[in-house]
Structure 1
Amino acid sequence: MLGLLGDEWTLLVMQQSLLGATRFGDFKARLPVSNSVMTARLRALTDEGLLDRREYHTRPSRFEYPPTTRGRSLWPVLVSIWEWERRWVPDHATPLPRMQHLECGDECSPVVTCRACGSDVGAEDVVAHWGPSGSWSRSVPPSSTRRRSESAAAGLFPQTMSVMGNRWGFALLVAGLVGIRRFSDFQSQLGAPPGSVADRLSILTANEVFDAADNRYRPTEKGYALFAVVITALQWAQRWYEAPDGPAVVVEHPSCGHRFTAVLTCDRCRRALRGTTISVVSTPESD
Structure 2
Amino acid sequence: MRWSDLPNVSCSVARAMSVVGDRWTMLVLRDLFLGVRRFEDFERRLGIARPVLSQRLKKLVEEDVLNKVRYEERPARYEYRLTQKGKDLYPVVMALRAWGDEHMPTGDGPPVVTRHRACGHVVTPKLCCPECGEPVQAKDMEALPGPGAHEIAHQPASRRSA
Number of the residue aligned with 1:52: 67
Q: Does 1:22 align with 2:37?
A: yes
Normalized against structure 2, the TM-score is what? 0.77
Distance 1:52 1:137 in 2: 36
Mapping 1:100-249, distance limit 5 Å: 100-135=115-150, 180-181=158-159
Partner letter of residue 65 of structure 2?
L
SS at match of 1:113: coil
Number of the residue aligned with 1:31: 46
Greater relative contact order, per chain length (Cα 8 Å cut-off, separation 6+): 1
Alpha-carbon spacing, 1:85–1:179, altered in 2? closer, same or farther (3 Å)? farther
The gaps in structure 1 that reach 5 residues or longer are 139-177, 183-215, 219-287
Alpha-carbon spacing, 1:59–1:108, altered in 2? closer, same or farther (3 Å)? closer
SS at match of 2:144: strand
Normalized against structure 1, the TM-score is what? 0.46
1:140-189 per-position Cα deviation (integer Å, ceiling 9, x unaligned): xxxxxxxxxxxxxxxxxxxxxxxxxxxxxxxxxxxxxx86445xxxxxxx
Distance 2:151 2:116 in 1: 38
SS at match of 2:36: coil
Indicate if the aligned counterparts of 2:65 and 2:82 stay in contact, CA closer than 8 A.
yes
2:82 to 58, 67, 86: 67
The gaps in structure 2 that reach 5 residues or longer are 1-15
Distance 1:13 1:110 in 2: 20
Partner letter of residue 53 of structure 1?
K
Number of the residue aligned with 1:6: 21
Alpha-carbon spacing, 1:106–1:95, altered in 2? closer, same or farther (3 Å)? closer
Count of aligned pairs? 145
Distance 2:72 2:123 in 1: 40
Alpha-carbon spacing, 1:47–1:15, altered in 2? closer, same or farther (3 Å)? same
Distance 1:117 1:21 in 2: 37
Distance 2:35 2:114 in 1: 16
Indicate if the aligned counterparts of 2:91 and 2:125 stay in contact, CA closer than 8 A.
no
Q: Does 1:98 align with 2:108?
A: no
**Distance apart, 1:91 and its partner CA:** 5.7
Distance 1:106 1:59 in 2: 43
Number of the residue aligned with 1:225: none
Alpha-carbon spacing, 1:135–1:91, altered in 2? closer, same or farther (3 Å)? farther
1:202-244 per-position Cα deviation (integer Å, ceiling 9, x unaligned): xxxxxxxxxxxxxx7x6xxxxxxxxxxxxxxxxxxxxxxxxxx
Higher strand share: 1
Partner letter of residue 37 of structure 2?
T
1:232-264 per-position Cα deviation (integer Å, ceiling 9, x unaligned): xxxxxxxxxxxxxxxxxxxxxxxxxxxxxxxxx
**Distance apart, 1:107 and its partner CA:** 2.8
Stretches of 4+ moved more than 6 A in 1?
none
Distance 1:121 1:25 in 2: 41
